[in-house]
Amino acid sequence: MRGIAVLAAVLAVTGTAGAQQLQPSATITASTYKHAAKPVALTYKLSYEMQCGNPGKGPLTLTFPAQVAVPRVSAADVLLNGKSAPAVTRSGSTLVVSFPPPPTIMCDVIGMGTLTVTITKTAGLANPKKAGLYTFPVTSDKISAMPKLRIG
């Protein structure tokens, strides 16, 4: 009887074989939503399957709408879960963000994890000059998403 109770508890935590898998998701928020505001911090929340909370090999590509001026952005201006990115390169309206190397020894647990990517105000980003709904595509080896941001 005890074995059945343990099995029931495990199924309650992990789900059943027929349960729907969680889907990757991405959101974006801004420190201000006013049009033409500068400087603006942007924060992405990316949820997807990770091994032991590790975001993957990367890199992460952040593409900005043409209406967003992207100045020179340094690795110190981009935070991955609160820590400076190892490297950031810019090509036009696209930033390529490197991930830190994975730990030498990693567990085998695979589950949904969240990567928070913040582009700080020191990067000098500015909101578009016109109000509207803007798309900020994000891609890496683990996720491809199109979060949207409404600028008023």
- Is the distance from CB of 97 to CB of 45 less than 8 angstroms? no
Least Cα distance to 140 among 80, 92, 68 occurs for 80
Kindly state the average pLDDT of the residues 26-55.
96
- Is the distance from CB of 131 to CB of 32 less than 8 angstroms? no
pLDDT given at position 20: 54
Position 13 confidence tier, pLDDT thresholds 50, 70, 90:
very low
What are the chain's domains? 20-151 (2.60.40)
Position 103 confidence tier, pLDDT thresholds 50, 70, 90:
confident
Kindly state the average pLDDT of the residues 71-95.
95
Place of tokens 């400087």: 39
- Is the distance from CB of 142 to CB of 21 less than 8 angstroms? no
Lowest mean pLDDT segment, chosen from 1-15, 29-43, 100-114, 125-139: 1-15
Lowest mean pLDDT segment, chosen from 6-10, 48-52, 69-73: 6-10
Position 69 confidence tier, pLDDT thresholds 50, 70, 90:
confident
